[in-house]
Structure 1
Amino acid sequence: MNDKLRTDLFGSVGVGLRACHYAHVELNYPAIPWFEVLSDNYLFDGGPGLRHLEKIRAAYPVTLHGVGMSLGSTDVLNWEYFRKLKSLIQRVEPVMVSDHLCWTSFGGQYFHELLPLPYTEEAVRHTAGRIRAVQDFLGQRIMIENVSSYFSCRYAELNEWEFLQAVADEADCFILLDINNIYVSARSHHFNPEDYIAGLNSRRIRQFHLAGFEDRGTHLLDTHSAPVHAPVWELFRQALSKWGAIPAIIEWDNQIPAFERLQYEAAQAQEIMTHHVNFARVSTPVCDGIEFGK
């Protein structure tokens, strides 16, 4: 079992590595504990992007995060894609590998969208089987991330967090819990985001995502183009209270600011996490080695 993320990076906050920040990182080697890398941008044998990644990887731990697995699709798994991904894994030795609990292709056509699945038992079995096949091929467990969604199926048999939990348990994989996506989906589907946190009782969660959304009035749009909003910070605190100081990443993919702005956002998350760790150390009641309230 690859569980390095929980041990090596536990209690730390990193940022997503973007091409516009290569020069800054390579020149200044900022005090960031780790980077999350968009794996789909590096599925090549060479090129400047891969050279930058290898240079940065020599100084920092990285995780690989993708959008192309299409784990919930009815298409045949794209084994050429996974061969390229496995080669990248062998090349950069990431701490963990992740993708989304969704489908992104149909009939061999990729939509470049993270489309939600129907929350049914059939979809649980179908998607979990594909995840197991991918994990067998890659030789390691992966993390699956909850996506933001804007529509739902009338014939759903489970709610979203029950579906996420069921797939992870059936596939024996890990969960990358996107706190921002929980809040965005909660506004779309009119559920209490706190129920989502309360409803996940698994130790499978290995990483958090934090990002900013855009308020369109009628709905929130998951754009990764803004600072983390106050209600998302509050959900983050609740997640920390339940699961502890699990590693977190700041995502910022559109209207990307200077690297120092990302560092400021990561420092805010780190302060919240550190406060949680210190608070838990002095306030969590312990009896016969068992911590209550976890």
Structure 2
Amino acid sequence: MCQSLTVGLGLKPAHYEEALACSVQGLWFEVHPENYFVDGGPRIAWLQAIRSRHPISLHGVALSLAADCPPDPAHLQRLLDLARRVEPTLISEHLAWSNWRGTYHPDLLPFPRSGEALGRIVDNIGRTQDVLGCRIAVENPAHYLRIDGHAWDEIDFLAEIVRRSGCGLLLDINNVYVGACNLGYSAADYIDRFPAEAVMEVHLAGYTEDRQFGADLLIDSHDAPVAETVWNLYERFIARAGRCPTLIERDDKLPEFSVMLAERDRAHAVLQRALEEANR
């Protein structure tokens, strides 16, 4: 894991001015690279300006690593071009699929954890890492309903992906909590079993209850503050794993930048306590 990073924020256009002016030590920003697949213009100019002051991480949403076909070569080339331009500290992607026979679906879709899927994913990660020339991190998915065909436990599946491909993992703790509530497993047990040695980044975000089913169906909405239950799981993981680059995600219903910084400060305090414990 990249120990030089502490806690970052998802970068949104509404916060560009304040992000650029912010001088908080250890702050970094993460963006979805697909929003910057352009040759020029104001978005690229702002991203490069912020990169001149803060580290940048790229968190992809469209490589479709779990699809039954390789990543789109044109997409990979655009990702490589952007990476060369901003020199990101980390590059990550979701463990999901969205591309089907040349059509992109606006969602991160689930798949059965079969041996066949494992082979495809490892191959697609390998192709991606070969093009980019670096190790990427793969994020554990959120779960909303049970699907048939799983031959692997999710933790074992992720660990095997790491072993075969050499990639790292991105632990999204809100995904863990949402999935645990929706499918009825223990979020604490999941956190305790997660292969900490492979974690390159941690994500924290907020969830909402479904309009129809309420608390029986939680949605990884990224439009609310980090819940106390998720903070507790984060502290549990960091107490075991030690300091790890952490990101506060917020994609909708954006609060003031100062509110985002306050959540960032809370996560930073957790990392500082972990560092103090390690130095005792």
TM-score, normalised with respect to structure 2: 0.94
1:244 aligns with 2:238: no
| Shift of residue 30, structure 1, vs aligned partner | 4.9
The answer to whether residue 88 in structure 2 is matched with residue 90 in structure 1 is no
Residue from 254, 258, 275 that aligns with 1:277: 275
Structure 1 stretches lacking a partner, 5+ long: 283-294
* 1:8 matched residue in structure 2: 4
> Does residue 1:23 correspond to 2:17, yes or no?
yes
1:215 aligns with 2:213: no
CA contact (8 A) 1:71 1:131 kept: yes
Q: Deviations over 1:120-173 (max 9, x none)?
A: 222111101110011111111111011211123222112222222222222110
In the alignment, what sits opposite 2:60? 66
Where do residues 1-294 of structure 1 align in structure 2 (5 Å cutoff)? 6-9=2-5, 12-31=6-25, 33-216=27-210, 217=214, 218-282=216-280
State the alpha-carbon separation in 2 of the partners of residues 77 and 215 from structure 1: 33
Q: Which range moves more in the overlay, 127-136 or 152-161?
A: 152-161
Change in Cα spacing, 1:23 to 1:202, as seen in structure 2 (3 Å) is closer
Whichever residue aligns with residue 154 of structure 1, its letter is: D
Q: Tell me the distance in 1 between the aligned counterparts of 2:37 and 2:53.
A: 21
1:93-121 per-position Cα deviation (integer Å, ceiling 9, x unaligned):
00111110110111111112111221122
Name the amino acid aligned to 1:81. Answer: H
Q: 1:234-270 deviations in whole A, cap 9, x for unaligned?
A: 1101111221111100000010111101000001111
Q: Measure, in 1, the Cα distance between the counterparts of 2:21 and 2:149.
A: 54
Unaligned runs of 5+ in 2: none
Q: Which moved more, 1:162-171 or 1:99-108?
A: 162-171
Q: What amino acid does structure 2 have at the position aligned with 1:132?
A: G
Q: State the distance in 2 between where 1:198 and 1:145 align.
A: 17
The one-letter code sitting in structure 2 at the alignment partner of 1:62 is: I
In the alignment, is the contact (CA less than 8 A) between 2:3 and 2:244 conserved in 1? no
Asked if the contact 1:15–1:32 (Cα under 8 Å) also holds between the matched residues in 2, the reply is: no
TM-score, length basis structure 1: 0.90
Give me the identity figure in percent.
34
How far apart are the structure 1 equivalents of 2:196 and 2:53?
A: 33
| Equivalent position of 1:292 in the other structure | none
Aligned length: 276
2: CA distance, partners of 1:77 / 1:272: 37
SS of the residue 1:111 aligns to: strand
- Matched to 1:222, the amino acid is D
What amino acid maps onto 2:3 in structure 1?
Answer: T
Q: CA RMSD in A?
A: 1.4
Question: What is the CA–CA distance in structure 2 between the aligned matches of 1:167 and 1:122, rounded to whole Å?
Answer: 12
In the alignment, the residues of structure 2 paired with residue 163 and residue 245 of structure 1 have an alpha-carbon distance, to the nearest angstrom, of 24
Deviation at 1:202, TM superposition (A): 4.9
